[in-house]
Amino acid sequence: MTRISIVVPVLNEAGVVAAGLAALAEFRARGCELIVVDGASTDGTAEIARPFADRVLISDPGRARQMNAGAGSASGDILIFLHVDTRLPELAHERVRAGIETSGCVWGRFDANIEGAHPLLGLIATMMNWRSRLTGIATGDQAMFVTRAAFRAAGGFPAQPLMEDIALSKALKRLSPPLCLAERVTTSGRRWERHGIARTILFMWWLRLRYFFGASPALLARTYYGKDV
């Protein structure tokens, strides 16, 4: 049977990592491999994660770097890249496995819900899902998945500090269109609620527009994080 590896990059997530990984216990019980890649956290994230994962790796920080390290260590034929604050739907591994085997696609993503109290989060999720379907571009919040062979053929995540999911999507589109699963992952709305809904929408669209017109990921990351990364 095709094995699935779930790769979770983390950095200073001590407050949420236990709950996030505990939610994946059912997938481990059904044969999925769970690999956590810690970007040299300073708050004990790696130690908290160890009881919940098959393997915890330590790498230099950087989501692309961490996910590539996890993919390189994985034994699965299909890789799912998952944010620690994103929950997979029930039997997600079966939907991914069956979809890849029957669709002819070598990669894809789920639709997403955004969890939170603000009434606009549902609309934002719907817009994000439709944008993804129209453009064929997946983002990390949608739990991207890809066959190991296609991931290697695409060169993995590019070594850039931001927009790595968009860059990989563009490379994978040369191999096949994405499989867009209607089942929904549930991702945290903490970023939206912390910084404000309208401000976050405008800020993210501004960054993506700059990226589309050729701004360097390093420059965009400096704007996003407020420091060099």
Q: What is the pLDDT of residues 29-63, one digit of tens each?
A: 999 999 999 999 999 999 999 999 999 999 999 99
| Residue 203 placed within a domain | no
Residue 229 has what pLDDT?
Answer: 60
Higher pLDDT, 188 or 227: 188
Residue 192 has pLDDT above 70, yes or no: yes
Helix H segments across the chain? 17-22, 25-29, 45-49, 63-73, 92-103, 121-135, 148-153, 164-173, 190-195, 197-212, 217-225
How far apart, in whole angstroms, are the C-alpha atoms of residue 163 and residue 37? 19
Residues 149-156: what's their mean pLDDT? Answer: 98
Residue 195 has pLDDT above 80, yes or no: no
State the virtual CA torsion across 120, 125, 129, 131 in degrees, nearest 10. Answer: 50
Residue 17 has what pLDDT?
Answer: 98
| Residue 11 placed within a domain | yes
Residue 226 has pLDDT above 80, yes or no: no
Residue 93 has what pLDDT?
Answer: 97
| Residue 147 placed within a domain | yes
92 C-beta neighbours (distance < 10 Å), count: 25
The CATH number given to whatever domain includes residue 66 is 3.90.550.10
**DSSP code of residue 140:** G
Q: What is the pLDDT of residues 103-143, one digit of tens each?
A: 999 999 999 999 988 888 898 899 999 999 999 999 999 99
Q: What is the pLDDT of residues 204-223, one digit of tens each?
A: 889 888 988 888 988 988 88
| Residue 199 placed within a domain | no
Residue 200 has what pLDDT?
Answer: 85
pLDDT bracket for residue 28 (50, 70, 90): very high
Give pTM, 2 decimals. 0.94
Question: Helices 197-212 and 121-135 meet at what angle, rounded to 10?
Answer: 20
How far apart, in whole angstroms, are the C-alpha atoms of residue 229 and residue 226? 9
How far apart, in whole angstroms, are the C-alpha atoms of residue 172 and residue 175? 5
Residue 228 has what pLDDT?
Answer: 60
Residue 12 has what pLDDT?
Answer: 97
Secondary structure (3-state) at 116: coil
Domain housing 24: 4-190
H or E stretch at 104: none
Higher pLDDT, 17 or 197: 17
Residue 74 has what pLDDT?
Answer: 98
| Residue 60 placed within a domain | yes
Q: Domain count for the chain, please give it.
A: 1
Secondary structure (3-state) at 160: coil
Q: What is the pLDDT of residues 72-106, one digit of tens each?
A: 999 999 999 999 999 999 999 999 999 999 999 99
Residues 199-205: what's their mean pLDDT? Answer: 85
| Residue 211 placed within a domain | no
| Residue 229 placed within a domain | no
| Residue 216 placed within a domain | no
